[in-house]
A and B are shown apart, each in its own frame.
Chain A
Amino acid sequence: MPTLDESATPLLDGLRAFIDPAQVRTDPDSRLNYGRDWTRLYAPNPLAVVLPGNIEQIQGLVRYANEHRLALVPSGGRTGLSGAAVACRGEIVVSMERMNRILEFDPTDRGVTCQAGVVTEALQHFARERGLYYPVDFASRGSSQIGGNIATNAGGIKVVRYGLTRDWVTGLKVVTGRGDLLDLNRGLIKNASGYDLRHLFIGSEGTLGIIVEATLKLTRPPREPSVMVLGVPDLNGVMSLYHVFRNKLELSAFEFFSELALRHVLKKGLQRPFDAETPYYVLVEFENPDESHTDQALALFEHCAEQGWLADGVISQSETQAKELWRLREDISESIAEHQPYKNDIAVRISRVPALLAEIDELLAREYPDFEVLWYGHIGDGNLHVNILKPTDLDSATFAQKCGAVSEHLFAMLQRHGGSISAEHGVGLTKKPYLHYTRDETEIGYLRAIKQVFDPNGIMNPGKIFD
């Protein structure tokens, strides 16, 4: 990492006038750790890391940044997969981690108000302890923050039933790029009083302002969820299964992974769900409060087996087993990290999934026969993760360049299917060159105009989403 730019010291001292000097950090460890997210593609190089403790300090910081034209990168748990929280151009990282208090809970509203730095899992626990449930959930729950979840409109593994982060946000307090504090929607369910700015901040990836507080809805926990893992011989079967199961069962997850992906998880010591190998697997979670639901699931299983849509399957007998089965899907990402996978997170309408998958498979087999390609994802949402593993004998630069070429093909294909180049990981830096495959120039013009309103000097996370 480049050494600190000493000429900036007076500027940082100006910050120390209104923020505890110990919370304005320039040591190499802080700059390294807070300068990057889960991606490892960009060399971190922030000017400094600031950890504000309250809203006034954030407003002061944003005004100061406007005055001195300093770029700010809002920073959550830095589990993002698109480089949106990366600071590699001398920016100031604004970490929300000290603002991690849950402020208010009302059982009648079934709502909770918290600071943006609350860790996702902490909110889930808070809800559980009150007999309620916060359903936005994914493998990075132990580190990602509510503010980061909102700024990326995070999805995850329960979307088929509960929707995206957007569906749970009933209020936001934000400091805009101009330094104004806006109190948006205040936990109201109904509010037909003009434009709903809250929704502009959801998925804004830190480019409009800093989310400082959020009010979220909670719901009742699912009753006795059971987990099935089913072996599927071919792709069309996956969608047929989805169609049949969602009509008869209350599904809370419908996930998919390939045998090739499963093998990486098994190498880490997990147990194969059943002996038979099939090219694809689905993980189905459903509410199973009594025997009639189990019977329904069994009947569907038999029906689907007769159609040849599935070859075998297991069902959890305890919460512990449900967790073990979930690990087959959730541990994939970590188990392939050592292979420096080139990741794509794409979406199409559910009905288009099999056609798209077949086309992509054909493309990759034709153009890149040497690459190991792994499929998994939230297929019930039309969301697929395509992971290309780096062959050990190929250097990173050549690999990245080859994958870039794959992406152009892939995204052109997606465009024809009316899909999206980013289902839930955001655009950030990694997908910025490809935004035009999903949003046309006219639409991007509107996005820029909105950014101009909230952040006229372009200090909020510049260079992310678009230039």
Chain B
Amino acid sequence: MKILVAVKRVVDYNVKVRAKADGTGVETANVKMSMNPFDEIAVEEAVRMQEAGKAQEIVAISLGVAACQDTIRTALAMGADRGILVETDAELQPLAVAKLLKAVVEKENPDLVILGKQAIDDDANQTGQMLAALLGWPQGTFASKVELGDGTVNVTREIDGGLETVALKLPALVTTDLRLNEPRFVKLPNIMKAKKKPLEVLKPADLGVDVAPRLVTLKVQEPPKRQAGIKVGSVAELVDKLRNEAHVI
């Protein structure tokens, strides 16, 4: 079995994100970038399947600027076998990413595609669903458990009010939720091995995909500052403020 895993390069989860002064986006110059945490979970899940003898090959794919190669190398160091970068400096929106991934899926013919449920930069939560629709494949989104069967995969999903398990026929698409697994740390010797693993670079044009944005960003701005708390003198005053100022009771 062959698994394709998508990995996105995003602003590190620990960085305090700032809006650019001109309102065109968020500041990314001199900001630490790393792999989208949900994609780390996706890579981990694929590697565990391989370690359990259920998958033969894992291909990690990233789309975007040349520096996305670093993100792919991390996936390779975690255990993926080879990488593909679709390189472009253009802004990539979820539909464009889904179309590019579809083209790569058609080239690679994987049995399973695993993506994060969303990327922590734009929080769109669209790519997996769009890709499944474009491919006409079954999808198991928000996975907290994934069990491979014979030509099938059972995906336990986190939904409002509990868990739901769906049985999908392969080929299928899975998007990961936070509780699926805890990604491993990368071992130093594996970084050396990762450098020797193949990494193919393609252009959107090679795949015949038009990546022109469909959505226009009007403005990006900081959320309003939270006001400082106050100390109240008594329970009565607290109740009064909750009722008449905060209007929450």
Contacts and interface: CB of A to CB of B under 8 A. Distances in A.
Interface string A255-277: 00000000000000001011000
Interface stretch (B8-16, B89-97, B210-218): B8-16
Given A294-B191, A298-B191, A321 B32 contact: no
Given A224-B32, A271-B182, A320 B14 contact: yes
B12 A320 contact: yes
B185 A274 contact: yes
A319 B15 contact: yes
A314 B189 CA distance: 9
A165 B161 CA distance: 51
Interface in A315-342: 315-321, 323-325
B220 interface: no
B186 A319 contact: no
B187 interface: yes
Contacts of A273: 185
A313 interface: yes
A126 to B, nearest CB: 14
B140 interface: no
Interface string A292-304: 0010011001100
B83 interface: no
Contacts of A271: 182, 185
Interface residues of A, number: 25
A320 B37 contact: yes
A312 interface: yes
Contacts of B29: none
B1 interface: no
Given A298-B191, A319-B34, A320-B34, A314 B186 contact: yes
A123 interface: no
A325 B185 contact: yes
A47 interface: no
A316 B185 contact: yes
A159 interface: no
A321 B186 CA distance: 10
A228 interface: yes
Q: Which of A305, A317, A319 has the most chain B CB within a 10 Å cutoff?
A: A317
Contacts of B12: 318-320
Contact of A317 (B14, B15, B74, B192): B74
B14 A323 contact: yes
B69 to A, nearest CB: 11
A314 to B, nearest CB: 4
Contact of A314 (B14, B15, B185): B185
Contact of A301 (B13, B34, B188): B188
Interface in B33-64: 34-35, 37
Contact of B13 (A228, A302, A305, A319): A319
Contacts of A301: 188-189
B90 to A, nearest CB: 25
Given A319-B13, A319-B14, A323-B14, A314 B34 contact: no
Given A319-B14, A319-B15, A314 B35 contact: no
A294 B192 CA distance: 10
B179 to A, nearest CB: 13
Nearest to B73: A317
B186 A318 contact: no
Q: Which of A228, A297, A305, A314 has the most chain B CB within a 10 Å cutoff?
A: A314
A458 to B, nearest CB: 37
Contacts of A228: 188
Contacts of A298: 188, 191-192
Given A318-B13, A320-B12, A312 B191 contact: no
A318 B188 contact: no
A323 B192 CA distance: 23
Given A224-B32, A319-B14, A319-B34, A314 B187 contact: yes
Nearest to A225: B32
Contacts of A313: 187-188
Nearest to B71: A317
A88 B218 CA distance: 63
A366 to B, nearest CB: 37
Interface of B: 12-15, 32, 34-35, 37, 74, 77, 182, 185-189, 191-192
Given A315-B185, A318-B32, 15 more contacts: A224-B32, A297-B188, A298-B191, A301-B189, A302-B192, A313-B187, A314-B186, A315-B187, A316-B185, A317-B35, A318-B14, A318-B34, A318-B35, A320-B14, A321-B34
Interface of A: 224, 228-229, 271, 273-274, 294, 297-298, 301-302, 305, 312-321, 323-325
17 contacts: A224-B32, A228-B188, A273-B185, A301-B189, A314-B185, A314-B187, A314-B188, A317-B34, A317-B35, A318-B12, A318-B14, A319-B14, A320-B12, A320-B14, A320-B37, A321-B34, A325-B185
